[in-house]
Amino acid sequence: MPIDVTKIPLSQLPTETVQAGRFSKTRVAQSTALLEDYAELISDLVANEGEARATDLARRLGVSHASAIKTLARLKREGLATSKPYRGIFLTPAGHDLADKARTRHRLVVDLLVRLGVAPDIAEADAEGIEHYVSDETLRVFAQFLKSA
């Protein structure tokens, strides 16, 4: 019998501090998810094409050119990327670290979902969201599960 979540008594809710912390974690994840996606894609494009251009990023991420330019400016401000006149966008060492971390998280989530029976193409799509929101502790448990299964 499903639980009616619309009628949870106040006494069963987490404390205000715990609940605020959970929502804060989600807002931070939302803020960094975009940077992680861009860093990972820049890394992939540079490895395969020699450079990443704003137009390539916009097309591959399904965003407008203006949105890509805005996020690239943020990456530069945060020391994660650089650009060269008449060339593309390149990651700094910190940007490479971010891309590597995002790629590792993504692969781990995809591998777990596939192991659980999710079709690979669906697992890839779902991992794009999940990878940014799970904690390092949860990822560690995912990795342990995959090693033991």
pTM above 0.75, yes or no: yes
Given this model, what pLDDT does residue 27 score? 66
Q: What is the pLDDT of residues 62-114, one digit of tens each?
A: 999 999 999 999 999 999 999 988 889 999 999 999 999 999 999 999 999 99
* Res. 34: pLDDT tops 60: yes
Given this model, what pLDDT does residue 18 score? 73
The CA R_g of the chain, rounded to the nearest whole Å, is 19
**What is 75-112 written as a DSSP string?**
HHHTTSEEE-TTS-EEE-HHHHHHHHHHHHHHHHHHHH
The partner residues of 89 in beta bridges, in order of sequence, read 52, 83
Which segment of 15-24, 57-66, 135-144 scores lowest on mean pLDDT? 15-24
Mean pLDDT across the chain: 88
Burial tier of 17 (Cβ tally within 10 Å: 0-12, 13-18, 19+): exposed
Domains of the chain, by residue range, sit at 17-148
Maximum mean pLDDT: which of 12-16, 17-21, 25-29, 80-84? 80-84
By C-alpha distance, which of 4, 2, 8, 70 is closest to 34? 70
By C-alpha distance, which of 96, 77, 83, 25 is closest to 54? 83
Task: Return the CATH number of the domain spanning residue range 17-148.
Answer: 1.10.10.10
Given this model, what pLDDT does residue 124 score? 94
- Token readout for 28 is 């931070």
Contact 98, 78 (CB under 8 A): no
Given this model, what pLDDT does residue 17 score? 81
Q: What percent of the chain has pLDDT over 70?
A: 89
- Token readout for 48 is 């395969």
